[in-house]
Structure 1
Amino acid sequence: MSVPYLIDSCSLSGKTVLIAYHIPKQCVSVRDATTRRVIAYVKDILLNSATFIVYPKGRERVLKERRKNVHAFIRGTVCCKEEIGNALSWKKAYYNPYVTETFIDTISFVPLTSASLIYCNGKSVYYLY
């Protein structure tokens, strides 16, 4: 079965997923949180009740081999842009295994573990508490 490429993320609304940036396709890879299988690729996605996940062993492997692997995810429930209001003050999150051990806020450098809302557009991740 082929995985849908660059679908509208609203079609996944209500589903609990794991997301990560897919370097070769330059988009967001969406995995089913239960099976961990890739179910779609999207340009952007909105998640509520999100958790930032970095697997330490995977990060250690990146540092040792100096080669990227998928070891950092954001877990949450997909929602549509129409389900949230406008004029929200988003903050930007950042993760680089060579620089940080976990996702951090780009301004305060505070480690992030969860957020009420996440908006991911390609490599950029924005969040609300």
Structure 2
Amino acid sequence: MRRESVIHKPLNLVDGQPLLIAYHLYKKCFSIRCFHTRKVIGYADRIIVGNARFLVSHSGRARVLREKMKNIHAFVQGEYQADLQHAYLAYENIMEAYYNPYKVSTFVDKRTMTPIHDAQIAILDKGRVYYTIAHG
């Protein structure tokens, strides 16, 4: 089922723009930051980025474990690609990523629980993260 993105704050993104994306617990959507400034530039229910990397601050995770209170320390870094945003993605090898600071120390494949560090495309949709990797 195709689902249109809901943008909570207008985004003025350009192709190739590097972004950092994290899930916003209170707004129940994704918080989108400029990679260079680290400032929030918008919010969306759905965004797709290319050349994705899955980042976890180990000191941020340690603080979560110590204080038992969540903080923003895990991101998907990627490049904005306008042509991907409205396309229906029907990749054969889409997998779901998973991160829970109490259970794993890095993003992992949800099915196999093996660590993942990068992906060709990351699809952040309705609080979940999906990814696909290049073959060959």
- What TM-score comes out, normalization by structure 1 length? 0.88
> Could you tell me how far apart the structure 1 residues matched to 2:57 and 2:132 are?
23
> Could you tell me how far apart the structure 2 residues matched to 1:55 and 1:109 are?
19
> May I ask how many residue pairs the two structures share in their alignment?
124
- Structure-to-structure mapping, 1:16-27, within 5 angstroms: 16-27=18-29
- Structure-to-structure mapping, 1:83-94, within 5 angstroms: 86-89=89-92, 90-94=94-98
> Could you tell me how far apart the structure 2 residues matched to 1:21 and 1:37 are?
15
1:43 and 2:45 aligned: yes
SS in 2 for 1:41: strand
Range with greater deviation from structure 2 (30-39 or 13-22) = 13-22
1:15-53 Cα shifts (integer Å, max 9, x gaps):
210000001111000000000000001110000000000
- What TM-score comes out, normalization by structure 2 length? 0.84
Q: Who is 1:125 aligned against?
A: 129
Structure 1 gaps, min length 5: none
> Could you tell me how far apart the structure 2 residues matched to 1:59 and 1:122 are?
23
Instruction: Choose which of 83, 108, 115 in structure 2 pairs with 1:111.
Output: 115
